[in-house]
């Protein structure tokens, strides 16, 4: 482990963001890119990692990928700060994109498992591979799913078409100042509507969707083992799509607000809505397939203390951490999803889905050993939202700033 001499550390910024709901809005994509570029530049880092999910929501995924790469790398501040960049944007299969920016190309090599020499020198300038195959320097995996080559569209009610949901990961490996680091971009299984029957079940300690996501993380860890990468420093940044434990949250609200819980069933006996009604007959909570609404306190409640009122229900990834496979900094920021602009143009949480910390950045023990852990120093770890004060779509990017030992 490094002693704390700053010459032995370099600053890095990792950012992950899901553009699946803004893929057809060119202005929002450019605003998203501007906020990401601003976050990177302000940290004066040696290298930066940008992981993008949801490219298949765009009418033309290749065009969206070029806009993202261009808007970030051609930003005047970024252009002056970094002499090279590499990008792997898989617009054909996973809809994931990895962009890497380096201050000095001579300090970096990238790994190509199809090359006889393994590591290749990174060239001066920009190398952006869009819509290409694994032979161009990355590893892709779809968790055993097969997809048709079509855009990942949304239904009329705003929910994602589950038949064409893209899940998977995109893995890139670099040697930076002699340190071998593996970066994984991933998009895990999501359930883009409220499963009211499951929420109403008092016995559900883990949802079916959460169990599916945990299974996919295990598949990722197995792939890392098979590729011989578990001894690398590993950073996993992407759409974990983790949800709050909504059953426990609703129980807490019912208890603290002293309300009556009313469950309405459809003609087949399935629960179609859950409502909390106070003693005056006013609804304080409504949960339906496409609605999660705390009515008068909705936006205030999820923003209060940067989300700390609901943080106790954010335990989905705990099993991953407790097993020692991956670690995460504490989420001292409000949920990264789901945002919208109200009729007055003010940003607030949507009332269609329960807000959650869906976008996350985790790392393994080897990476943790490279980090400088110093809460009293500006070069210590920081974990938070990008564009906290600006609307850039329903999903806010999440960033991890860290100083990394290069000794």
- At 230 the pLDDT is 78
Q: pLDDT value at position 152?
A: 45
Predicted pLDDT at 287: 96
Give the number of other Cβ atoms within 10 Å of residue 144's Cβ: 9
Q: What is the pLDDT of residue 118?
A: 83
Q: Given this model, what pLDDT does residue 142 score?
A: 87
* CA 99 to chain centroid: 14
Q: Which residues contact 204 (CB under 8 A, 6 or more apart)?
A: 198, 247
| Gap between the Cα atoms of 383 and 361, Å rounded | 9
Tell me what pLDDT residue 192 has: 75
**Whole-model pTM over 0.85:** yes
What pLDDT does 231 receive?
84
β-strand partners of 285 = 276
Tokens of 294: 């705390």
pLDDT in tens, 266-322: 888 889 999 999 999 999 999 999 999 999 999 999 999 999 889 999 999 987 775
Low-confidence stretches of the chain (pLDDT < 70) are 1-7, 116, 132-137, 146-165, 202-204, 322, 374-379, 407
pLDDT for position 166:
83
104: alpha, beta or left? (left if phi > 0; alpha if psi -120 to 50): beta
What pLDDT was estimated at residue 162?
47
- To which H or E segment does residue 217 belong? helix 208-226
Q: What is the dihedral of CA 36, 17, 60, 213, to 10 degrees?
A: 170
- Looking at residue 146, what is its pLDDT? 65
């Amino acid at each position: 482990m490094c002693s704390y001499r700053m010459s032995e550390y370099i600053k890095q910024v990792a950012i992950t963001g899901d553009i699946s709901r803004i893929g057809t809005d060119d202005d929002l994509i450019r605003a998203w890119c501007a906020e990401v570029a601003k976050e990177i530049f302000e940290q004066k880092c040696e290298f930066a990692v940008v992981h993008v999910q949801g490219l298949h929501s765009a009418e033309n995924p290749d065009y969206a990928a070029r806009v993202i790469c261009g808007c970030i790398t051609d930003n005047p501040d970024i252009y002056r700060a970094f002499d090279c960049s590499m990008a792997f944007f898989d617009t054909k299969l996973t809809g994931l994109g990895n962009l890497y920016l380096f201050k000095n190309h001579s300090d970096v090599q990238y790994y190509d498992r199809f090359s006889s020499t393994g590591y290749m020198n990174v060239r001066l300038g920009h190398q952006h591979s869009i819509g290409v195959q694994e032979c161009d320097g990355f590893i892709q995996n779809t968790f055993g799913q097969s997809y048709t080559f079509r855009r990942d569209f949304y239904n009329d009610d705003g929910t994602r078409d589950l038949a064409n949901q893209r899940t998977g990961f995109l893995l890139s490996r670099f040697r930076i100042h002699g340190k071998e680091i593996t970066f994984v971009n991933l998009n895990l299984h999501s359930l883009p509507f409220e499963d009211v029957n499951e929420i109403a079940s008092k016995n559900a300690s883990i949802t079916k969707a959460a169990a599916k996501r945990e299974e996919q993380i295990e598949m990722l860890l197995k792939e890392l083992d098979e590729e011989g990468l578990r001894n690398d420093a590993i950073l996993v940044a992407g759409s974990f799509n983790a949800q709050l434990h909504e059953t426990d949250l609703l129980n807490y609200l019912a208890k603290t607000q002293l309300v009556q819980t009313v469950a309405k069933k459809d003609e087949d006996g399935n629960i179609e809505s859950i409502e909390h009604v106070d003693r005056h007959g006013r609804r304080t909570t409504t949960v339906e397939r496409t609605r999660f609404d705390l009515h008068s306190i909705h936006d205030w409640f999820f923003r209060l203390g940067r989300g700390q009122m609901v943080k106790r229900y954010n335990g989905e990834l705990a099993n991953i951490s407790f097993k020692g496979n991956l670690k995460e900094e504490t989420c001292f920021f409000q949920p990264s999803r789901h945002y919208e602009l109200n009729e007055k143009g003010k940003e607030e949480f949507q009332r269609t889905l329960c807000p959650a910390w869906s976008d996350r950045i985790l790392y393994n023990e080897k990476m943790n050993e490279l980090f400088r852990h110093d809460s009293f120093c500006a070069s210590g770890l920081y974990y938070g939202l990008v564009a906290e004060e600006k609307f850039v779509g329903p999903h806010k990017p999440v960033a991890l700033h860290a100083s990394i030992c290069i000794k």
